[in-house]
Amino acid sequence: MRLDRRRLNGVAEHGISILVTLFGLLILTFVIGRIMPTDPVRAIVGEDATREVYENVYRQLGLDKPMWQQFLLYLRDVATFDFGTSIRTGQPVLSDIARVLPATIELATFAIVIGAGLGAPLGVIAAVNKDKWQDQLIRVISLMGHSMPIFWTGMIALLIFYAGLGWVGGSGRMSQFYIGMVPERTNFLLIDSAIAGQWDVFRSALNHIILPASLLGYSSSAYITRMTRSFMLDQINQEYITTARVKGLSRRQTIWRHAFGNIRVQLVTIVALAYGALLEGAVLIETVFAWPGFGQYLTSNLMIGDMNAVMTCVLIVGVIFIGLNILSDILYRVFDPRTR
pLDDT digits (tens, 9 = 90+) for 23-75: 887 887 777 777 766 666 666 666 666 777 777 767 766 666 777 777 888 88
Q: Is residue 90 part of a domain?
A: no
Q: What is the pLDDT of residues 208-247, one digit of tens each?
A: 888 898 888 888 888 899 888 888 888 877 777 777 677 7
Distance from C-alpha of 85 to C-alpha of 308, rounded to nearest angstrom: 7
Q: Name the least confident of 45-49, 103-107, 199-203.
A: 45-49
What pLDDT does 6 receive? 67
> Which of 170-179, 201-210, 238-247 is least confident?
238-247
By residue range, what is the domain housing residue 264? 98-305+321-339
Q: Record the pTM.
A: 0.80
Q: Is the dihedral of CA 67, 70, 76, 78 positive or negative?
A: negative
Dmax (CA) for the chain in angstroms is: 86
Answer yes or no: do 127 and 36 share one domain: no
Q: Are residues 128 and 238 in the same domain?
A: yes
Residue 10, in any domain of the structure = no
* 227 and 119 within one domain: yes
8 occurs within a structural domain? no
Spatial distance between the Cα atoms of 115 and 155, rounded to a whole number of angstroms: 20
119/165 same-domain check? yes
Q: Check if the beta carbon of residue 119 is closer than 8 Å to that of residue 231.
A: no
Task: Say if residue 229 is in the same domain as residue 127.
Answer: yes
User: What mean pLDDT, rounded, does the chain reach?
Assistant: 79
DSSP states along 271-322? HHHHHHHHHHH-HHHHHHTT--SHHHHHHHHHHHT-HHHHHHHHHHHHHHHH
In this prediction, residue 19 carries a pLDDT of 79
DSSP of 85-104: B-TTTSSBHHHHHHHHHHHH
Q: Nearest CA to 285 among 222, 211, 190?
A: 211
Together in a domain, 72 and 104: no
Q: What are phi and psi of 182, to 5 degrees?
A: -115, 125
Note the pLDDT of residue 156: 87
Q: 87 in a domain, yes or no?
A: no
pLDDT given for residue 44 in this prediction: 67
Q: Is residue 3 part of a domain?
A: no
**pLDDT the model gives residue 312:** 85
Burial class (CB in 10 A: 0-12, 13-18, 19+), 231: buried
End-to-end CA distance of the chain: 16
Same domain, 23 and 127: no
Give dist(CA 19, CA 211) in Å, integer. Answer: 39
Dihedral sign from CA coordinates of 319, 321, 322, 326: positive
Distance between CA 202 and CA 107 in Å, rounded?
Answer: 14
How many structural domains compose the chain? 2
Residues 233 and 124 in one domain: yes
Let me know if residue 301 belongs to a domain: yes
- Centroid of chain to Cα 333: 23
Last residue of a domain, one of 79, 109, 131: 79
For residue 35, being part of any structural domain is answered with yes
| Same domain (yes/no): 296, 164 | yes
Give yes or no: residues 64 and 119 share one domain: no
Q: Are residues 282 and 221 in the same domain?
A: yes
Which positions ≥6 away from 7 have C-beta within 8 Å? none
Residue 108: count other Cβ atoms within 10 Å of its Cβ.
27
Do 191 and 112 fall into the same domain? yes
Return the DSSP state at 338: G
Give the pLDDT confidence score for residue 338 in this predicted structure.
56
Q: What is the CATH number of the domain that holds 299?
A: 1.10.3720.10
Mapped to the 3 state alphabet, what secondary structure does 209-266 carry?
HHHHHHHHHHHHHHHHHHHHHHHHHHHHCCHHHHHHHHCCCCHHHHHHHHHHHHHHHH
Is residue 240 in some structural domain? yes
